[in-house]
Each structure stands twice: as structure tokens, then as C-alpha cells.
Amino acid sequence: MIQPDRLVQTFLDLVRIDSPSNFEAEIGQHLQARLQALGLETEMDAVGNLVGRTPAGQGSGDWLLLSTHMDTVGTDRGIKPMIRDGVITSDGTTILGADDKSGVAAVLEVLTTLAEQDLPHPPLEVVITVGEELGLYGARNLDTSRLRSRHGIVLDSGGPIGHMVISAPSQDNIRLIVHGVSAHAGAEPEKGINAIRVAAEGIAAMPLGRIDAETTCNVGIIEGGTARNIVPDRVTVIGEARSRDNAKLEPLTARIVQAFQAAAGRNGARLEAIVARTYTTYRLDESEPIVQTLAGEARRLGHEVKLRGSGGGTDGNIYTAAGIPCIVISTGMAEVHTPHEHIAIADMVACTELLLAAVGRLAVTRNS
Ligand SMILES: [Zn+2]
């Protein structure tokens, strides 16, 4: 059995260590020390991803990847966790950081329990990435050829325990730079081509928001202009498109670029479009052993199981693309990326018990 009080204490300790994306050095060192204290061999790569390995205990089995990320979204620091009525929140001025420190805490509690009770488990590969919130930066820069795992569990989702993600979208990063012509806004505006106007026409004409059940797009950032009295010659618009069907994503991305191209053409401006596929969609077969194991153990523990598609990518997209099929499970985190982020202690405990059960089930013992 796990120890709920210890689990909660670990979680509180972790969220009190500031770790917005790009500032993970302190939490990385803390986690490396904790993994080493639990007997894992660790390595940290050049970008700060932490990998810990421990051989099988009391049996054997295929290497199992346990995936979480150590960065928290945005720039919030000084998180002050509070517990009220069995729910952990921030003080309301910052995120909580349950995304993804609830996952990290669950993994640490499972490793602690396995070690102290000498329980059977397969060889475990614990990967804690940096920069997940920047578009899977850490996982994309991880040398996945060094991973030994046959399959994996990603702890980085919300919803009821028992709801699991077996399909995630592809994502295109779309950077559109409108090049206009600058001019004095009062003396000779007719000599200018207003890049902000061109960008506005492009944004107004492009598809936006939810396209269908598995397809979305967004404009997230717009930057441009230098002064009130200068016709702006340059605007950068950063957006994205996602779909769990690449056959839908490619034409959607093309339509977004075309909307800007047409606006540039009408106004005599020039468009520079940079499109990059950040990560690739996947769908696990329900017969995959990792899916069967998690679903089976969740049912046995009394959870209603639902295998679903997600609108968001995780590090699991990268590992699955690298040949390590990953299921994404809920840690109980809720309203993530907002100051209302919270997690119920009961859900945190249930997630950790599910993880412990699944790890035990994946151990091949002499009697099984
Ligand atoms: Zn996350």
C-alpha cells in the first residue's frame, strides 16, 4: 500500500520549488537526488531532462517507461499550496502546478513503496522532462534511441481516474510574418503598406477555434509595429492547428496560410510563412498490453474506464512515435493552466494506487 500522507507531502514539497519552463535547474537537481536516494541510476541530458533507471524487483518483464514533466506552465513563482476539504489549491494568485507535479509525486511514491516493501516490478525507466509546456521541448530533444522501454505510462492528464488517453493530435506551429512598408503616418501614409492591417485581414479570414471533434486551430500571439506615427512594416502572428487526423490537419494549415497570403496579395505586402509539425498524432490499439493492463487494473480498483482521444499532445506523442506506445492517465489535476487549478487528495491517492497496481501487474514473476 502507498502512504497517502507521504504522497501529499511530496506533492507540497514539489510545488513549492519554482520551476516555470526554462527554469528547471533547481527542481531537476532535487528530483535527481530523490531518484538516487531511491536507488535509481540517473542521468541528466544537456537540456535538463532527467532519466532514472532501476532493474526489475522480484521478477522480470519488459522495461516500462514512467513519464512526467518537471516544468510548470507560464511564469508563476512562489506557489503557496493550501488544503481545504480534501482539495489542494494555490492561494488563488498563481497556478498550483499539479500539472505535472501530481504525476511526479505519484511516480516517487510508487518507487518508494516498491523499494520499502520489496514488491515485484518490471525494470523501470523514469523520464522527467523539461519544457513540456513549451511544446514538448524536452521530449523532442531527448535522445529516445537510448530509451530501453517497450511501452509506457504518461501521467499528465485530468479527468476521472479511469479515463485514459489512447489517441492524441498532431500539432502544426504556424508563424506568419507580414512584411509591409513603413512610412511617416502623417506626412506620407500612402507610401506605406500597413502590416497590421494585412495581419488583421488574414486573422479575420482564417478558420479559428473548433473545426470539428478532433480538429482545432488558434491565433495565440501577435507582435508588430514600432510607434504610433509610423506605418508598421512588420507583424508576426503565431498560431497553431491540431487534429487527430493528418488528412484534416494539412489542408487546415494550408487554409490559414492562404488567408494571410491573400491578404498580403490584396495589399501589396509580402508573407513569410514558417510551418513546423511539433508532434505527430497516434492512436493505440485497445489490445495493446499497456492499455489492457491499465484498463484492467482501473476496473479492478472500482473505476469506470473510458478510453478516449485528447485535444492535447503530451510527451507520449514523442515516445509513441519513437516506438514506445504510451497510454496517458489522469492524475486528478483539474482546471490546469489557471489560478483555479486544483487536485483532490482522494484522486491523487487513487491515481498512485492505480499506478502501483499496474506496475505490479506488468512484473513477470516465476509464478505468473
Ligand atoms: Zn502537463
Beta carbons within 10 angstroms of residue 221's beta carbon: 10
71 is catalytic: yes
Q: Where in the chain is the domain with CATH 3.40.630.10?
A: 4-168+281-361
- The whole-angstrom separation of Cα 217 and Cα 171 is 9
116 is catalytic: no
Longest pairwise C-alpha distance within the chain: 88
- The per-residue pLDDT for 366 is 58
Is residue 336 within 8 Å of residue 158, measured between CB atoms? yes
- The per-residue pLDDT for 24 is 98
Is domain 170-279 annotated with CATH 3.30.70.360?
Answer: yes
Is residue 71 within 8 Å of residue 133, measured between CB atoms? yes
Is residue 142 within 8 Å of residue 313, measured between CB atoms? no
Is residue 152 within 8 Å of residue 166, measured between CB atoms? no
Task: Evaluate if pTM is beyond 0.75.
Answer: yes
One of 132, 133, 172, 233 is an active-site residue; which one? 132
Give the model confidence (pLDDT) of 251-297 as tens digits.
999 999 999 999 999 999 999 999 999 999 999 999 999 999 999 99
Q: Compute the distance from residue 329 Cα to the ligand 1 centre, in Å.
A: 11
Q: Which amino acid is at 62?
A: D
Q: Compute the distance from residue 315 Cα to the ligand 1 centre, in Å.
A: 9
One of 24, 71, 341, 347 is an active-site residue; which one? 71
Is residue 95 within 8 Å of residue 341, measured between CB atoms? yes
Per 3-state DSSP, the chain is made up of helix, strand and coil in percentages (nearest 5) of 35, 30, 35
Our CA angle for 81, 87, 88, nearest 5°, is 15
Answer left, alpha or beta for residue 118, where phi above 0 means left and psi between -120 and 50 means alpha: left
Burial of 199 (0-12, 13-18, 19+ CB in 10 A): buried
Length of the chain: 368
- The whole-angstrom separation of Cα 343 and Cα 101 is 11
Tell me which H or E stretch contains 197. Answer: helix 195-205
Query: CATH topology for 4-168+281-361?
Result: Aminopeptidase (3.40.630)
- The whole-angstrom separation of Cα 142 and Cα 238 is 25
Q: Where in the chain is the domain with CATH 3.30.70.360?
A: 170-279
Residue 101: strand, helix, or coil = helix
- The per-residue pLDDT for 367 is 54
- The per-residue pLDDT for 169 is 97
Q: What is the pLDDT along the chain (368 residues), one digit of tens a residue?
A: 999 999 999 999 999 999 999 999 999 999 999 999 999 999 999 999 999 999 988 778 999 999 999 999 999 999 999 999 999 999 999 999 999 999 999 999 999 999 999 999 999 999 999 999 999 999 999 999 999 999 999 999 999 999 999 999 999 999 999 999 999 999 999 999 999 999 999 999 999 999 999 999 999 999 999 999 999 999 999 999 999 999 999 999 999 999 999 999 999 999 999 999 999 999 999 999 999 999 999 999 999 999 999 999 999 999 999 999 999 999 999 999 999 999 999 999 999 999 999 999 999 865 54
Q: Which residue has the cell 542521468?
A: 43
Q: Kindly calculate the radius of gyration of the chain based on its CA atoms and give it in whole angstroms.
A: 23
Q: Compute the distance from residue 61 Cα to the ligand 1 centre, in Å.
A: 28
Q: Compute the distance from residue 119 Cα to the ligand 1 centre, in Å.
A: 29
Residue 233 — φ and ψ, nearest 5°? -105, 0
- The per-residue pLDDT for 60 is 84
Secondary structure string (H, E, C) spanning 267-292: HCCEEEEEEEEEECCEECCCCCHHHH
Q: Compute the distance from residue 22 Cα to the ligand 1 centre, in Å.
A: 15
- The whole-angstrom separation of Cα 268 and Cα 111 is 62
Residue 95 — φ and ψ, nearest 5°? -65, 170
Which residues have a Cβ under 8 Å from the Cβ of 188 and sit 6 or more positions away? none
Q: Compute the distance from residue 91 Cα to the ligand 1 centre, in Å.
A: 20
